[in-house]
Amino acid sequence: MTIGRRVIRLDEATSTNDVAKRRGRSGEPEGLVIVARHQTQGRGRLGREWISPEGGLYLSVLLRPELDPKELTALTTYFVLPVAKAIENITGLKTELKWPNDVQIVGRKVAGLLVEGTGQRGKIAFLVLGIGINVNNSAKDLGLEGATSLSEEAGRTIDQEELLEEILSELRSHYERFKKGEYPEDEYVRRSSVLGHQIEAVIGRETFRGKALYLAPDGALVIKSDEGLVLRLSWVNDTSLRVTDSAENIDIPTKD
Ligand code: BT5
């Protein structure tokens, strides 16, 4: 299997994840990539919108990992890493990972991941890994505070094809490792904008304040609340996270 063995390019899609899921249901082998120039109904987690004008990169990858669904959460969490590394390799910019699914540049969101899948009798039938990146579009036009684009950060136009190729190449090598249960924790921790920080986590209707301690083997974020409770935040919960301290003097604790 090679991610990108087949790449379908569309001018427009409702959501590239929908197109990839349809192909997944009709038996397409893994490795298929769907790319659209823009999306009319791009989405984030939990029904949120992913604004998808031309100039951004929108792609979905169809995967059929032979994994226990229990291992899925780690896989999902770590998939931001190849995307962040590809962005760094092509632009020379430094990226940060905001758990669970954001890639940021100097605290602003530049990319988001959405993993969707289906399974039967404890087996994953397929997964669709959706990646949205603000590349040459203007972040200001998105009308969102806290968003940025690669061209704005780099001060130049970014070659989208080159970026796409690099993402696929990083995904290929990381996916092989992830399937063996190898998760490059050091590379993740080094880029995390959350670990070691004071955070405010909103889960459903509850708000927790505390310190982000470490990433559990299954990709959950372990935090210690100000009241001394140790909590595991799973990406499947409706969690939204805010870092509430400055980036200075942060001591990232280890699990041991
Ligand atoms: C995500 O969700 O960040 C996942 C985004 C995945 C998008 C890709 S594009 C290809 C594939 N096809 C799809 O339909 N989706 C995937 P979440 O963590 O829920 O973040 C959503 C939030 O990010 C929104 O509520 C906005 O606040 C913000 N947002 C929306 N559009 C954005 C953009 N273009 N850039 C930065 N932030 C954005």
pLDDT in tens, 35-49: 999 999 999 988 899
Cis ω before 53 (30° cut-off from 0):
no
- Each residue's pLDDT, cut to its tens digit, for the chain (256 residues) gives 699 999 999 999 999 999 999 999 999 999 999 999 999 999 998 889 999 999 999 999 999 998 877 788 888 899 999 999 999 999 999 999 999 999 999 999 999 999 998 887 778 899 999 999 999 999 989 999 999 999 999 999 999 999 999 999 999 999 999 988 899 999 999 999 999 999 998 887 888 899 999 999 889 999 999 999 999 988 666 677 888 886 544 444 444 4
Spell out a b/e string for 40-77, using b for 16 or more CB atoms within 10 Å of the CB, else e. Answer: eebbbbeeeebbbeebbbbbbbbbbbebeeebbbbbbb
Encode pLDDT of 166-209 as tens digits.
999 999 999 999 988 899 999 999 999 999 999 998 887 888 89
Residue tagged 């708000």 (tokens):
207
DSSP type of residue 46: G
Domain with CATH 3.30.930.10 in the chain: 6-191
Ligand 1 centroid to residue 146 C-alpha, Å: 12
Q: Cα–chain-centroid distance for residue 127?
A: 14
Domain with CATH 2.30.30.100 in the chain: 198-243
CATH class for the domain made up of 198-243: mainly beta
Secondary structure E strands in the chain: 6-13, 32-39, 57-63, 96-98, 102-105, 108-120, 123-133, 198-203, 206-215, 221-225, 230-233, 239-243
Name every protein residue with a CB atom under 6 angstroms from any ligand 1 atom: 15-17, 39, 42-45, 48-51, 58-60, 101-102, 109, 112-114, 130-132, 134, 142, 144, 147
Ligand 1 atom showing the smallest separation from residue 41 Cα: 14
Number of residues in the chain: 256
Ligand 1 centroid to residue 44 C-alpha, Å: 4
Q: Whole-model pTM above 0.75? A: yes
CATH topology of domain 6-191: BirA Bifunctional Protein; domain 2 (3.30.930)
Q: Which of 178, 210, 229 is nearest to 76 (CA)?
A: 178
